[in-house]
Structure 1
């Protein structure tokens, strides 16, 4: 008989009154997942919400790099037992939200034991009660550590693009999540679309696969249009909503944030 690892056991969704945890995931890297998590956090904070952005990409953490932060406290210190999760939070004043940074560039957290990772996940749920929203930037892929952290979230935004590999890997993530946690609120974000209509067509392709093989229909959270200013803002380590607030991609994420709050 197979014994279920307690650290991998499903957990109940977090009530919104205790701090709604929303994970940002992708089947593969390179689709703009971290940029989207940062920009969504900024958009929500602009609407008066108290927001925490948590870098859960244990192997390739880079939120601090994209924001130009040099935190002296990060998730590595928490895992090592030197700090509590609350103590590791850094205020990103330019965006109006808090950040728990990963250990960028080292990959030292990629092989964290499941039992230790579960302690971090439990602490995150407790910490979430002090926030209106927690945005959890997951690592790309479907590894156990990614799925384990994803279980802290009641909503998962799966970011994809029109590339065939991105769609295939997004489908794989949705499939595994739907099998392990059938009641999870999964939504799709199409990033770097040539137009809103093209993004909707990309979503339709993914939706047909989900309906045909999984018998589920994850809704479209939104389409973010391809925008050269995104790369410029990342290169300048400045949030898009600060540097180019009226750009197409900025307006798309702002609209997406509004829809999320309306649900």
Structure 2
């Protein structure tokens, strides 16, 4: 090797050495100084606007609550922080499906006996729940001051990416009251003719109450993808034709004996049988729901309960039915 080549080699090695010496220093400077943009975005202290999703149905017996539990867990598996709120006033059973015995419920918060943090249950399934929300019906008896105090407490639940509400079935005032302030509405039906008719009735009630936000459809307990498409296409078509509203299908769930087994064992089927067809369906629905853009006017948990109770200037007509 000639001298020039040797010098070039030495110069190259020196430059590499200098670079290696500088890299830790530069990294240290970056850590002590400005946070990289990609990290800053993840660690931002800006408050999270919680996406409120109401899961509802036109009739009972379509598997709505079971679907709510498993969908909430499936969304949590996508890296989201999820709160599942049991809003079924008549048959509050989210905790039963998960094998959980709650010590407190929202009624105690309404009465001022407990703070909202006291009734939130952290589960082993990666989601938090508020169980047995039977006390919601008592909100109608509160004074304006008590309502505002209650809503302020619920504002402390901010920080969740998603609050999913399992509403009751049917088109009663309490159900519609929970559905209308939500960012997204998931209407659950099955291939049974009565379920399809009642699902349409629910969509009609939502439209009649002035809901212009996202209405999504899930067909549960289907024997085949073809049957699921038939049901979804029918509801989408008649909603467009007679209600002039867009309904989007976000998926279906196969009928499987494994789902009934998981219900009897009081464990979610996406946990007990993660490799099942029904669990794969739930993962697909979770991705579809979360990949759609949230409502531009999303107001989070605090705003949701304000509208629910008819508090504030931004309350819409038809709100505050409780």
Q: Which has the larger radius of gyration?
A: 2
Fold conserved between structures, TM > 0.5: yes
Match in the other structure for 2:132: 102
Task: Check whether the contact 1:20–1:128 (CA below 8 A) recurs between aligned residues.
Answer: no
Question: Residue 260 of structure 1: which of 281, 289, 308 is its match?
Answer: 289
Q: Is the counterpart of residue 81 in structure 1 residue 112 in structure 2? A: yes
Partner-residue secondary structure (3-state), 1:112: helix
Match in the other structure for 1:206: 235
Greater percentage in helix: 2
TM-score norm. by structure 2 comes to: 0.70
1:41-56 equivalent positions in 2, closer than 5 A: 41-56=72-87
Choose 17-26 or 118-127, whichever is displaced more: 118-127
1:1-263 equivalent positions in 2, closer than 5 A: 17-93=48-124, 95-102=125-132, 109=135, 111-114=137-140, 116=142, 119=147, 122=151, 126-263=155-292
Task: Check whether the contact 1:61–1:101 (CA below 8 A) recurs between aligned residues.
Answer: yes
Task: Check whether the contact 1:158–1:170 (CA below 8 A) recurs between aligned residues.
Answer: yes
Deviation at 1:185, TM superposition (A): 0.8
Q: C-alpha separation between the residues in 1 aligned to 2:229 and 2:157?
A: 33
TM-score norm. by structure 1 comes to: 0.85
Task: Check whether the contact 1:19–1:128 (CA below 8 A) recurs between aligned residues.
Answer: no
- Distance verdict in 2 for CA 1:229–1:180, change over 3 Å: same
Task: Check whether the contact 2:258–2:269 (CA below 8 A) recurs between aligned residues.
Answer: yes
Cα-to-partner distance string for 1:104-139 (whole Å, 9 max, x where unaligned): xxxx64743536599499468624521011110001
Unaligned runs of at least 5 residues, structure 1: 1-15
Task: Check whether the contact 2:81–2:161 (CA below 8 A) recurs between aligned residues.
Answer: yes
Match in the other structure for 2:10: none
Deviation at 1:231, TM superposition (A): 0.5
Q: Give the paired residue count.
A: 243
Deviation at 1:85, TM superposition (A): 2.8
